[in-house]
């Protein structure tokens, strides 16, 4: 089955750019979504189809997808961006979703 | 606004069953799948299964086969998940989520989530 690999944690200072990676075999052929989950809350979609932002998501959030790595970038990081971030694809072979293990973003 | 609202927290004994509901509002209920995802304490997201709200077809993750059922009532835009033979490691927050189908323009995208239902299994 398809596997998505994320780093467990990423730390960044306020105002800097955070980059969270999601590795998968030929992931650039997949439609990648990114979910943000703040502590005690439900996940929120922040990016889909690798680089499309849902309405209400700040332009500071951007995405890219190339080769075996998709990346969620957050520029001008704020304290409120501190959360767990999950990448997700829909695996057409198994007809079910696959989630990455999640990355905890810490704002220093 | 578009939202999914779930039932409140449940506490069950091992071996019991739990049924969680997920009520949709402000969109055409039958135009999107409802998926169920759970999250054990301190852990990541785990897919449980999905229901095609248009025709009632279901697909489940293999580990839940035979123990889970998903239904819907289109008259009240509500989806249900029932998990049977509960054991302690079923303790988790259960989320419903809206996911686009073939004609939605957001195929496979989990774009709206319910607030979650905490299910605690304890003797």
Cα distance between the two ends of chain A: 36
pLDDT tens-digit readout, A62-100 = 999 999 999 999 999 999 999 999 999 999 899 999 999
Percent of chain A's residues with pLDDT above 90? 96
Q: Minimal Cα distance from B101: which residue of A?
A: A90
Q: Determine the pLDDT at residue B59.
A: 96
Q: Determine the pLDDT at residue A8.
A: 98
- Interface touch A42/B114, C-beta < 8 Å: yes
Partners of B57 in the β-ladder: none
Residues of A in contact with B108 (CB under 8 A): 31, 33, 89-90, 97
Q: Determine the pLDDT at residue B105.
A: 80
pLDDT tens-digit readout, B100-113 = 988 778 899 999 99
Partners of A90 in the β-ladder: A97
Q: Please tell me if residue B68 touches chain A, with a CB cutoff of 8 Å.
A: no
HSE at residue B63, side-chain half, CA atoms within 13 A, is 7
Query: Residues B29, B54: contact at Cβ < 8 Å?
Result: no
- Interface touch A43/B108, C-beta < 8 Å: no
- Which are the contacts of A15, defined by CB distance < 8 A and separation ≥ 6? A76, A77
């Amino acid at each position: 089955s398809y596997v998505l690999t994320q780093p467990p944690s990423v730390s960044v200072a306020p105002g800097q750019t955070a980059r969270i990676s999601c590795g998968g075999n030929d992931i650039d052929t997949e439609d990648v979504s990114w979910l943000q989950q703040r502590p005690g809350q439900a996940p929120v979609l922040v990016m889909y189809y690798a680089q499309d932002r849902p309405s209400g998501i700040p332009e500071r959030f951007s995405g890219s997808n190339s080769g075996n790595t998709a990346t969620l970038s957050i520029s001008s990081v704020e304290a409120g961006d501190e959360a767990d971030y999950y990448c997700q694809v829909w695996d057409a072979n198994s007809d079910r979703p696959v989630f990455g293990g999640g990355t905890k973003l810490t704002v220093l | 606004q578009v939202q999914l609202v779930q039932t409140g927290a449940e506490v069950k004994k091992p071996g019991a069953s739990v049924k969680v509901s997920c009520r949709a509002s402000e969109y055409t209920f039958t135009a999107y799948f409802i998926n169920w995802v759970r999250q054990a304490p301190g852990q990541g997201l785990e897919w449980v299964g999905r229901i095609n709200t248009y025709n009632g077809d279901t697909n489940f993750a293999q580990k839940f086969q035979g123990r889970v059922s998903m239904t819907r009532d289109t008259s009240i835009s509500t989806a249900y998940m029932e998990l049977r033979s509960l054991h302690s490691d079923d303790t988790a927050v259960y989320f419903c989520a809206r996911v686009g189908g073939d004609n939605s323009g957001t195929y496979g995208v989990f774009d709206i989530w319910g607030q979650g239902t905490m299910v605690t299994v304890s003797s």
